[in-house]
């Protein structure tokens, strides 16, 4: 080998070592993901990845078996939405309101008809009528007026937040008035 060939060889060797180091980093990262999958998958679901040789094959098999389809997610979301439409006094109101916001957000992402247009606003006002009928009637009236005039409607988030604040104020006033009744006795 002459001097030019040796320099070329050294350059190619250093490039090879850099590529090798980069490939080792990628393989190490894939091995970490593989170990994480194998150690965190439930023993009931290990059967789905037993014969898989690559991380990609494992993930595809798990997704195929465990991830719901969009259709199944839509059905589940519609079921949750319909359950929310009736408030049970045994439920925590804050949790119930948060569920309204969560289901509405997910429903908009998936495009379920239950959350389209003003339908969710009317469903929510109907649902809160069991908590505060006067407030619900007032809100429904204002929504109806906006629909008739083709005005921009509130987002459900705003309606839920307004009710949350109204409910908190009402509860705060109830508790302070009940304490004052005892003081008068």
pLDDT digits (tens, 9 = 90+) for 135-182: 999 999 999 999 999 999 989 999 999 999 999 999 888 876 555 545
In terms of residue numbers, what domain contains 60?
A: 3-66
Number of domains in the chain: 2
For residue 59, count other CB atoms closer than 10 A to its CB: 15
Based on the fold, state whether residues 39 and 126 are members of the same structural domain.
no
Express each pLDDT in 117-136 by its tens digit.
899 999 999 999 999 999 99
50-54, 68-72, 105-109, 114-118: least confident range: 68-72
CA distance 21 to 148: 68
Based on the fold, state whether residues 48 and 74 are members of the same structural domain.
no
SS3 41: coil
Nearest to 125 by CA among 147, 108, 106: 147
- Domain termination residue (choose one: 66, 101, 119): 66
Based on the fold, state whether residues 10 and 24 are members of the same structural domain.
yes
Task: Please tell me the total number of residues recorded for the chain in this structure.
Answer: 185
Based on the fold, state whether residues 75 and 93 are members of the same structural domain.
yes
Q: 168-182 burial, b if ≥16 CB within 10 A, otherwise e?
A: eeeeeeeeeeeeeee
Are the C-beta atoms of residues 122 and 88 closer than 8 Å to each other?
no
pLDDT at 66: 85
What is the mean predicted confidence (pLDDT) over 110-115?
90
pLDDT band at 65 (very low <50, low <70, confident <90, very high): confident
2-6, 40-44, 78-82, 178-182: least confident range: 178-182
Q: Which residue has tokens 């993901």?
A: 33
Based on the fold, state whether residues 48 and 83 are members of the same structural domain.
no
Are the C-beta atoms of residues 33 and 55 closer than 8 Å to each other?
yes
Express each pLDDT in 20-39 by its tens digit.
999 999 999 999 999 999 89
């Amino acid at each position: 080998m002459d001097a030019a060939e040796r320099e070329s060889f050294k350059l190619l060797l250093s490039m090879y070592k850099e590529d090798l180091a980069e490939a080792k980093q990628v393989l190490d990262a894939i091995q970490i993901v593989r170990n994480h999958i194998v150690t965190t998958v439930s023993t009931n679901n290990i059967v789905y990845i037993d014969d898989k040789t690559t991380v990609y094959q494992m993930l595809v098999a798990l997704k195929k078996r465990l991830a719901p389809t969009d259709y199944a997610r839509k059905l589940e979301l519609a079921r949750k939405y319909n359950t929310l439409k009736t408030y049970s006094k045994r439920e925590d109101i804050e949790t119930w309101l948060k569920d309204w916001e969560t289901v509405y957000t997910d429903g908009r992402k998936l495009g379920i008809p239950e959350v389209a247009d003003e339908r969710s606003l009317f469903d929510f006002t109907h649902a809160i009528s069991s908590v505060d009928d006067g407030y619900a009637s007032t809100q429904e009236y204002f929504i109806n007026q906006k629909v008739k005039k083709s005005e921009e409607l509130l987002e459900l988030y705003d309606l839920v937040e307004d009710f949350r604040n109204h409910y908190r104020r009402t509860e705060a006033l109830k508790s302070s008035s009940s304490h004052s009744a005892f003081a008068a006795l």
